[in-house]
Amino acid sequence: MNTSRRQFLALSSLGAAAGLPGSVLRAASAEATPAAGANAAKAVLRLSCQESVAPGKSLTEKLDFLEANGFEAIEPGGRDLIKRVEEFQKALQGRKIKISAVCAGFQGVLISEQEEERKKAIDTMKDILTAAGALGSVGMIIVPAFNNQTKLGHQEARELLVRLLPDLGAHAQQAGTRILLEPLNRGECHFLRQVADGAAICRDVNHPGIALMGDFWHMTWEETSDYAAFVAAGKYLQHVHCASRKDRKMPGEDAGDNYVDGMKGLKYIGYQNFISLECGCKGDRMKAIPAAVRLLREQWELA
């Protein structure tokens, strides 16, 4: 069986599990051809770390540590970010390190059946998007709803999300950033659990301000193939989270932590943005983070 045939079967299996229509699978498989890989830009490994994960008592100390260990970006939380724009701008001045994504922080529930909850989500998202754009962020990560936050079924939730996203995408684009949909595992949400499903939503919305991210830890439980998931995401994939594959600690802290299959997919699509640490830590972060960096770089070379 040749490579493209294996890729198509993997994508078909992935899509069937997500309940994707044939048109989406055909679009995904079209990206998974030798021509697509050959035409993709050369992928780069650019590491980021969430602000809350990096050691240090101040933002300056965190940035010093990250720069010293080869990180190119930091990922702040979205809560109250509008009040911290100047703080980040000053702290980043004269440094090579940048802002990667901004992690959520909004109020309300975007796909709630209650209008007031939806409005609260949209209004607070727009404030965070404005701050994210001012900081040159790749995008703002959003989860449409966690478990028990909406009574809408899958189809109703999807239709509502597709209807609401263009307005948010327009605000994001005007601010100079994007919305990044994040698929989660079934223990955290009933809706949007696979990367291919997120890509299908991005295709249906068809707006440059709407994109997608993947999270290796959530993918551990939901994807049949990291490679196929990232290939299915294609151009919509603009951010990646990383943690150990069992306990969501630092990469390398769980025995057998392996990201090579997914990294092959990132290389295939010519991924240009960040892989960001979103995780806890079993040991000393001052030692565990540099060890995680070495592991990720070694596996990137193997991919």
- pLDDT digits 0-9 by tens, 93-109: 999 999 999 999 999 99
pTM of the entire structure?
0.89
Q: What's the pLDDT tens digit per position in 57-99?
A: 999 999 999 999 999 999 999 999 999 999 999 999 999 999 9
* Residue 17: both structure tokens together: 């599990």
CA-closest candidate to residue 232, choices 6, 43, 9, 11: 11
Average pLDDT of the chain, as a whole number: 91
214-229 mean pLDDT: 98
Q: Alpha helix locations (H) across 93-134?
A: 115-134
Q: What is the largest CA-CA distance in the chain?
A: 55
Architecture category of domain 42-302 in CATH: Alpha-Beta Barrel (3.20)
What's residue 34's pLDDT?
A: 40
Q: CB neighbours of 205 closer than 8 A, spacing ≥ 6?
A: 162, 165, 166, 169
Phi, psi of 49 (to 5 degrees): -145, 135
pLDDT value, residue 72: 98
Q: 200 with 20: CB under 8 angstroms? A: yes
- In this structure, what token pair is assigned to residue 86? 């100047």
| Domain layout of the chain by residue ranges | 42-302
Structure confidence at residue 36 as a pLDDT band (50, 70, 90) = low
Q: What pLDDT is recorded for position 37?
A: 72
Segment 192-200 mean pLDDT: 98
CA distances for 129 relative to 76, 80, 81, 105, 176, angstroms: 13, 12, 9, 11, 9
Q: Report pLDDT digits (tens) over 112-157.
A: 999 999 999 999 999 999 999 999 999 999 999 999 999 999 999 9
